[in-house]
Structure 1
Amino acid sequence: MPSVKIKKHAPENDMTPFVDVAFLILSFFMLATKFKPEDPVEIKTPNSVSSAQVPEKDNFQVQIDKDGKAYFSMDNPEYSKKVIENVNTTRNLGLTPAEIKAFVNAPSIGVPFTQLKSYLSLSQDDQKKFKAPGVPAEDSTGGEMYFWIRDVLSAYSGRKLNILVKADNSTKYPAFKNILAAFKKNDQNKFLLITSPEDAPPGTALYETRAKQMNATKKE
Structure 2
Amino acid sequence: MNRLKISKKRGYLIAVSAFCLLDVTAAHAGSTYVNSKMNADDWGKIYLSTTNPNTIPLPAQAEGLQFGTSLGWGSTHVNTLFLPQNPSTGRNFHDYWINIWVQDIGGGGPDLLGQFTLTGAPGNGSPIIGAVNGCRFDNGTVTMLTNTTQWSVTKPQPQSISSLPNPAGYPVWTSNYLPPFVAPSQIPFSLGANGVSPWGLRSGINAAAKWITTASPYVSYTEAWFSTHIRCP
Task: State the TM-score, normalizing by the size of structure 1.
Answer: 0.26
Larger strand proportion, structure 1 or 2? 2
Larger helix proportion, structure 1 or 2? 1
Give 1 or 2 for the bigger CA radius of gyration: 1
